[in-house]
Amino acid sequence: MKWTRGHQSDNIEDRRGQRASLGGRIGVGTVVLALLAFVAQRYLGVDLGGLTGGGGGSEPGESRPIDPATDPDRETVEFIAFVLDDIQSTWTDVFAREGARYRPAKLVLFRDSTRSEGCGFGTSAIGPFYCPGDQKAYIDLSFYKLLRERFAAPGDFAQAYVLAHEIGHHVQNLLGYEEKMRAQQERAPQRRNELSVRYELQADCLAGVWGHSSKQRNLLEEGDVEEGLRAAAAIGDDTLQKQSGGKVSPESWTHGSSEQRVRWLRRGLESGRIDACDTMSGSP
């Protein structure tokens, strides 16, 4: 992917030199609760955010600012900054064409653990996530190492897809889809996982809408699309369940199968339109 090195973004909040705190040191019990919350939310559809400190504000612990000159992740941070601003510039234009105003999300970079305002305590084990309560996306850069080494999905566009997916959740939030999805889950709790899958697949498709724009502007290079599709397949629920040694249980999915994630990302890439991303009706 073509990008400008040295790029910096006003929408990045770098907490990598900051240790999250719950009023003291992070205990083993807190980390265990965070991991339980991740498993419950992803595979059981149960929100345990309250157990991990949901609703509280950020309480920073020790802070050691990252020196760009010695930052081992400097190039990755610059790449993410470029992609983040490009994604949000694209959505600004899309919203403007519809007579609406796009409000940029913030991206929080953290290491090991951090606090969000409204979504509780996050750890690197949870993976990248978006919090509608504070309109921020969160990512521990170590996830990209997992994506490359454990999930065999290397490449800069694979990294860009992950970020575009989280900003896709921000777009859903601004358009009211997140609130509608939560309301549907409350009315029909037996469809909680199904609705979550549909919602996540829509974010994949919206990531593809940005990818379509970047391709039109000649930012993509040969093999980039394949990198993104490979990443989508690598983090499908069925693939993750197989890797964990468990059985494939579609009824517990929250993000969709590898095939579904690839299909909807491809749809966004090919169409470049929000209206092509209607995963909430029909069969996903």
Q: 227 lies in a domain? A: yes
CA 245 to chain centre: 24
Task: Report how far residue 33's alpha carbon sits from residue 91's, in angstroms, rounded to the nearest whole number.
Answer: 35
Task: Report how far residue 75's alpha carbon sits from residue 34's, in angstroms, rounded to the nearest whole number.
Answer: 30
23 has a pLDDT exceeding 80: no
Instruction: Give tens-digit pLDDT for 230-263.
Output: 999 999 999 989 888 878 888 889 899 999 999 9
**pLDDT on residue 284:** 52
CA dihedral 87, 239, 186, 139 (to 10 degrees): -40
Q: 85 lies in a domain? A: yes
Instruction: Give tens-digit pLDDT for 132-172.
Output: 999 999 999 999 999 999 999 999 999 999 999 999 999 99
Q: 4 lies in a domain? A: no
**pLDDT on residue 59:** 44
Task: Report how far residue 128's alpha carbon sits from residue 126's, in angstroms, rounded to the nearest whole number.
Answer: 7
**pLDDT on residue 82:** 98
What is the residue-wise DSSP string for 119-181?
TEEEETTT-SEEETTTTEEEEETHHHHHHHHTS---SHHHHHHHHHHHHHHHHHHHHTHHHHH
* Stretch 107-126: mean pLDDT: 92
**pLDDT on residue 56:** 39
Which range marks the domain in which residue 93 is found?
12-276
270 has a pLDDT exceeding 70: yes
Q: Are 14 and 66 in contact (CB under 8 A)?
A: yes
Q: How confident is the model at residue 121 (pLDDT cuts 50, 70, 90)?
A: confident
Q: What is the helix, strand, coil percentage profile of the chain, to 5?
A: 55, 10, 35
190 has a pLDDT exceeding 90: yes
Instruction: Give tens-digit pLDDT for 31-89.
Output: 444 444 444 444 433 333 333 333 334 344 456 778 888 899 999 999 999 999 999 99
Q: 28 lies in a domain? A: yes
Q: 284 lies in a domain? A: no
H/E stretch holding 77 reads helix 74-97
* Stretch 126-131: mean pLDDT: 94
Q: 264 lies in a domain? A: yes
**pLDDT on residue 177:** 95
Q: Which residues pair with 114 in a beta bridge?
A: 122
- Domain total of the chain: 1
Q: 2 lies in a domain? A: no
Task: Report how far residue 256's alpha carbon sits from residue 199's, in angstroms, rounded to the nearest whole number.
Answer: 9
**pLDDT on residue 36:** 44
- Mean pLDDT (the chain, rounded): 86
User: Judging by beta carbons within 10 Å of its beta carbon (0-12, 13-18, 19+), is residue 58 exposed, middle or buried?
Assistant: middle
Q: 269 lies in a domain? A: yes
Say what the pTM is.
Answer: 0.84
Of 12-16, 76-80, 116-120, the range with the lowest mean pLDDT is 116-120
* Stretch 185-189: mean pLDDT: 95
